[in-house]
A = this chain, B = another copy of it.
Amino acid sequence: MRASATTSAPGRTAHTAHGEVQRKALVQAAYDLIAQGGFEHLRTRSVAARAGVNIATLHYYFATKEDLIRAVVERVHSELANFSAPPRTPLEELRVEFADVERQMRETPATFVVLFELHMRAMRDPVIHAMLSEMDTTFQSHVESYLADGVQQSMFRANLDVPAAAAILVATIKGSILQLAFMRRPFPLDRVAAEFERWLTGEPH
């Protein structure tokens, strides 16, 4: 399940099982601290302390701070790749979209916090940009795909501009996360979802 976990270069992946545990503990610690204080306040010493190891041990597993951050990026990536739900109708997909945001926000809001911190970094870090870009493309394509299905199945309006609608949906979800996770302001996810349904289905008025 985890990405590249079988090579043998020290500083990249661990040799032993215990080493892999240490690595994960360090990534988890970094992840937690970014969620708490953002990249701005991320300190390698804090990460090591939180993982219960010496600062030199951290550098045994991750040559540089940047390497550690990259591992965090991969962790977020895999965490958000759990959209592997069974196939549903386009309308169900739409509902699942908002339900997923709601659930993730309730269960692990930190993921979003880290994700958005990464967005700020993407501007300057090509590696992070590429990864976020890929995630974005995947997400956008997925939405466009089921929106197109919905139009084809006459479940959604015939004159729907699918790419534009997908862009709106994706942007709305990102915007809602911003509102919920960073501003801690209310966002009527359910009413927004309902309004989206009316809009896409073009229900009579």
Contact = CB atoms under 8 A, between A and B. Distances in A.
Interface string A146-168: 00000000000111110111011
A190 to B, nearest CB: 9
Contact of A38 (B116, B123, B195): B123
Contacts of A2: 52-53
A129 interface: yes
B171 A122 contact: no
B49 A7 contact: yes
Interface in A89-137: 113, 116-117, 119-124, 129, 132-133, 136
A195 B168 contact: yes
B167 A188 contact: yes
Secondary structure of the A side of the interface? helix
A165 B195 contact: yes
Contacts of A55: 7-8
A159 B198 contact: yes
Nearest to A119: B182
A19 interface: no
A7 B45 contact: yes
Residue of A39, A167, A173 ringed by the most chain B CB atoms within 10 A: A167
Contacts of A174: 171, 174-175, 178-179
B53 A124 contact: no
Given A38-B124, A173-B175, A182-B120, A161 B53 contact: no
